[in-house]
Copies of this chain bind each other. A is one copy, B any other.
């Protein structure tokens, strides 16, 4: 088994999965990355997240995370404050309208995600996550 094969199979899987998820988000005029940011912020359960925390959980260059969030702010789904304790940092919150959007989107994304991996059984899912985690560390 050549390294190349393994790598290509990961790249292709990513591509397919990205296409399907993006397509399911299209009616909501939101990109996959924007959706991910909103999900991360919701995960904070009211606590602010600062930009670098969000950035770490993403797969982006920092500069583009800024602009990604600019867009979410324009759409009123996110609010940005500079942090009182450390004015270099900024605090990010998801707004009520952002939460409402996620409410609308959640189900369709969940269905899409499950459809993507529907052919995998429990063991395979566990296996792939553990192998990939292994690869990433």
Which of B9, B18, B119, B125 makes the CB contact (< 8 A) with A11?
Answer: B18
A120 / chain B contacts, CB cutoff of 8 Å: 6, 131, 134-135
Q: How far is the CA of A23 from the CA of B135 in the complex (A)?
A: 18
Interface flags, A101-137, vs B, CB<8A=1, else 0? 0000000001001101101101011111101111111
Which of B17, B127, B133, B137 makes the CB contact (< 8 A) with A7?
Answer: B17
A124 / chain B contacts, CB cutoff of 8 Å: 131, 134
**SS of A interface (majority):** helix
Copies of this chain, whole number: 2
Contact: B127 with A15, CB < 8 Å?
no
| Least Cβ–Cβ distance between A131 and chain B, in angstroms | 5
Q: How far is the CA of A15 from the CA of B58 in the complex (A)?
A: 10
Which of B4, B7, B18, B126 makes the CB contact (< 8 A) with A1?
Answer: B126
Binding site for B on A (CB under 8 A): 1, 3-7, 9-18, 21, 59, 110, 113-114, 116-117, 119-120, 122, 124-129, 131-137
